[in-house]
Amino acid sequence: MRKPIIAGNWKMNMTPAEAKELVGALVPLVKDATCDVVICPPFVDLCAVKPLLEGTNIHLGVQNIHWAEKGAFTGEISANMLKAHGVEFAIIGHSERRQYFGETDETVNLRAKAAIAAGITPIICVGESLEQRESGVTDSIVTGQTRAALAGIDAVDVRKLVIAYEPIWAIGTGRTATKEDANATIAVIRGAIREACGEETADAVRIQYGGSMNPKNAAELMSMPEIDGGLIGGASLKAEDFSRVVNY
């Protein structure tokens, strides 16, 4: 019922020339994908990549968005500017932004609302640290992050957005969550959406797993009923690897 969605988070990698090469190699490899395919390059690569995506099944995303329409926000980029580049998705609240750039539940909520207002689909990231997992507070952490991210967003808009459950300890570490753990925590996130927005909305929202997802573990993770896709970091930087995840 929910169409799977696999997104590549390139993080701070790829010059425009490298980006073109990667996309050029990727297009034929994912053309028959049965899931939605998204790539999220750095802002400076958007112009290089966009023409190569015309007429393909790959959607364009970014890794952040500012909440204001315009103004004195040095170094930031607004949703309208991104919309003008044909951007359809925006990763919001990635743990690296929360950890290194002062992103809070409140700014995640503001960014998500700005994306929605511009017609861009947010991919909202939530997830616990290793310390939080070991002290048994994972469920309350992801529930709190989910509630805060969705505060004040209408159910009709919530059902269209994407959530990425990314346990921080699994990101870039090669240490993937077990499919059972990932499935269970995603069920908790869906429960938080159910509480906030009702059953129908909770059933419609696509929730990805992210954290060292790769060609070897993708099929196993995707076999779980609650897991509707993946947010892929390291393995999205090689066309061959990313296509194998997409074609799990």
List interacting residues with ligand PGA (CB under 6 A).
9, 166, 171-172, 210-213, 231-235
Which one, 10 or 67, has the nearer CB to ligand PGA?
Answer: 10
**Catalytic residue status for 85:** no
Quote the least distance from Cβ 213 to ligand PGA, whole Å. 6
Question: Min. distance of Cβ 212 from ligand PGA in angstroms?
Answer: 4
Least Å distance, CB 175 to ligand PGA, is 9
- Note if 94 is an active site residue: yes
Q: Which is nearer to ligand PGA, 93 or 210 (CB)?
A: 210
Structure tokens belonging to residue 227: 């897991």
What gap in Å lies between CA 167 and CA 33, rounded to an integer? 26
Measured in degrees and rounded to the nearest 5, phi and psi for residue 137 equal -110, 15
What is the smallest separation between the CB atom of 233 and ligand PGA, expressed in angstroms? 2
> Considering the complex, what minimum distance in angstroms separates the CB of residue 127 from ligand PGA?
9
HEC secondary structure over the chain: CCCCEEEEECCCCCCHHHHHHHHHHHHHHHCCCCCEEEEECCHHHHHHHHHHHCCCCEEEEECCCECCCCCCCCCCCEHHHHHHCCCCEEEECCHHHHHHCCCCHHHHHHHHHHHHHCCCEEEEEECCCHHHHHCCCHHHHHHHHHHHHHCCCCHHHHCCCEEEECCHHHCCCCCCCCHHHHHHHHHHHHHHHHHHHCHHHHHHCEEEEECCCCCCCHHHHHCCCCCCEEEECHHHCCHHHHHHHHCC
Q: Which of 59, 66, 94, 226 does the annotation list as catalytic? A: 94
Give the residue numbers marked as catalytic. 94, 166
